[in-house]
């Protein structure tokens, strides 16, 4: 939803005691979505140059309807539940400058649990409030790096508890600002499109835990064992750009036996029934 740009968007809801998690494992990213004209999926030939293959993928988020419509493109991170919050050293991505970078979308949703078992969800780190720096030109557009270098301290401050007493239960990227929400330029980014657009391309998505960074440049980075390095900033590219369409790619239903994924989706948006979620694991060409 839209939020005033002069504030960092932070939402905290105290829930009932939450069951303990096992230690976090290898991280995997799962594009998904729910509601009208809204989804997230990897798209080929839309992103920064990849170090694996030549697809140059980006993670595309779309909400081609009004912000007030209950819908979103979402990507959840599996394998992070059980990680001590003080080990979360950084969150970042590159956004393509023809897309949306608002106060509330795209954003990081982080859920945490304290030592008494109380869960707080979700602490919202929006694109506009991140630290920004220009990061090259590729796929016919400029790219801007959006970084939260000390998310643990900001989250702990929002909750009002010591970071040493908090454990991560869920992490997701959320895009739920639609075609009627303003898109002002973040400081440090050469934003190309200031009109509401309802979409954004992200790339070089990084989660740094205990000094180890996992960087997603495409769908195949789910198989990299939990750690990888983002490519260097690109030089100018003459690569063509495909159009942005309203139609949704082929989706899969959520496997209810995948308890880690079901939990991650429930934490990302607790009010969405499991049957309303769609997964988009395949690359769109």
Domain assignments of the chain as residue spans, ordered by start: 14-279
Say how far residue 90 (Cα) sits from the centre of its chain: 13
| 103-157 pLDDT tens trace | 999 999 999 999 999 989 788 999 999 999 999 999 899 999 999 999 999 999 9
Residue 121 vs residues 2, 33, 79, 159: alpha-carbon distances, Å? 18, 19, 18, 10
Residue-averaged pLDDT of the chain: 86
Reported confidence tier of residue 229, pLDDT bands at 50, 70, 90: confident
Say how far residue 138 (Cα) sits from the centre of its chain: 20
pTM to 2 decimals? 0.88
| 39-54 pLDDT tens trace | 999 999 999 988 766 6
User: Per-residue pLDDT for 97 more than 50?
Assistant: yes
pLDDT score at 125 = 96
Rounded CA separation 104/26 (Å): 28
- Cα-Cα-Cα-Cα dihedral sign, residues 264, 36, 59, 137: negative
The vertex-242 CA angle with 251 and 215, nearest 5°, equals 65
User: What is the rounded end-to-end Cα distance, in angstroms, of the chain?
Assistant: 30
| 193-218 pLDDT tens trace | 888 889 999 999 999 999 999 999 99
Residue 281 vs residues 37, 152, 234, 249: alpha-carbon distances, Å? 17, 29, 26, 10
């Amino acid at each position: 939803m839209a939020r005033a740009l002069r504030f960092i968007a932070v939402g905290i809801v105290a829930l009932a005691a939450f069951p303990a998690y096992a230690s976090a494992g290898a991280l995997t990213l799962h594009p998904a979505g729910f509601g009208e004209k809204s989804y997230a999926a990897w798209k080929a030939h839309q992103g920064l140059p990849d170090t694996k293959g030549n697809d140059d993928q980006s993670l595309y988020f779309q909400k081609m309807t009004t912000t007030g419509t209950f819908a979103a493109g979402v990507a959840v991170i599996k394998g992070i539940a059980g990680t001590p919050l003080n080990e979360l050293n950084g969150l970042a991505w590159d956004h393509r400058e023809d897309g949306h970078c608002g106060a509330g979308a795209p954003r990081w949703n982080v859920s945490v649990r304290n030592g008494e078992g109380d869960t707080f969800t979700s602490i919202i780190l929006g694109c506009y409030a991140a630290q920004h720096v220009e990061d090259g030109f590729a796929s016919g557009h400029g790219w801007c790096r959006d970084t939260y270098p000390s998310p643990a301290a900001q989250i702990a401050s929002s909750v009002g508890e010591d970071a040493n007493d908090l454990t991560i239960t869920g992490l997701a990227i959320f895009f739920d600002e639609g075609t009627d929400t303003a898109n002002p330029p973040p400081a440090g980014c050469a934003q190309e499109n200031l009109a509401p657009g309802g979409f954004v391309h992200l790339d070089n998505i990084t989660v740094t835990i205990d000094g180890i960074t996992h960087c997603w440049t495409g769908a195949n980075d789910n198989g990299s064992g939990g750690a990888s390095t983002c490519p260097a900033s690109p030089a100018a590219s003459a690569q063509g750009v495909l159009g942005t369409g309203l139609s949704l790619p082929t989706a899969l239903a959520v496997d209810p036996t995948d308890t880690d994924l079901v939990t991650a989706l429930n934490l990302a948006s607790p009010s969405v029934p499991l049957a309303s979620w769609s997964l988009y694991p395949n690359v769109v060409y």
